[in-house]
């Protein structure tokens, strides 16, 4: 069964606006990762946040993690049309070795 649940399932915004996607999960995790997928192609690793971290930045991306609420958010600031993609969170649980459990994803559409 899937660990993460993203919301919203779909998000449509204008260029220049910020986009926020949320991810909730059910069990304790080692880390949480965000990926982007363009048009059913391969996954691009965006950012990893460890369970002892609360916030992480990478360029226009900001990720937060609240382990007490078992949730994470991905903020894309000043969005561009090229940010149009599906975004997935994936959790790395304490399974003895690293396997990822993916959420259902958020489809982001950024209109020019």
Partner 1 sequence: SAVISQKPSRDICQRGTSLTIQCQVDSQVTMMFWYRQQPGQSLTLIATANQGSEATYESGFVIDKFPISRPNLTFSTLTVSNMSPEDSSIYLCSREYEQFFGPGTRLTVL
Tell me the CB-side half-sphere exposure of residue 23, using CA atoms within 13 A. Answer: 30
Q: Which is nearer to partner 1, 83 or 92 (CB)?
A: 92
Binding site residues, partner 1, CB under 8 A:
2, 33, 35, 40-45, 48, 88, 90, 92, 97-105
To partner 1, the closest distance from the beta carbon of 72 in angstroms equals 16
**Residue 14 beta carbon to partner 1: minimum distance, rounded to whole angstroms:** 25
Report the DSSP beta bridge partners of residue 23: 6, 72
The answer to whether residues 19 and 110 touch, using CB atoms and an 8 Å cutoff, is yes
End-to-end Cα distance, the chain: 37
**Smaller CB separation from partner 1, 3 or 112:** 3
């Amino acid at each position: 069964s899937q660990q993460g649940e993203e919301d919203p399932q779909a998000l449509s915004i204008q260029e220049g606006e910020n986009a926020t996607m949320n991810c909730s999960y059910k069990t304790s995790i080692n880390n949480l990762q965000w990926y982007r997928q363009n048009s059913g192609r391969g996954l691009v690793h965006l950012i990893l946040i460890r369970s002892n971290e609360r916030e992480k930045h990478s360029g226009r991306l900001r990720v937060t993690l609240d382990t007490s609420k078992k949730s994470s958010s991905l903020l894309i600031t000043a969005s561009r049309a090229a940010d149009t993609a599906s975004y997935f969170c994936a959790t790395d649980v304490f399974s003895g070795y690293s396997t990822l459990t993916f959420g259902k994803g958020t489809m982001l559409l950024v209109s020019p």
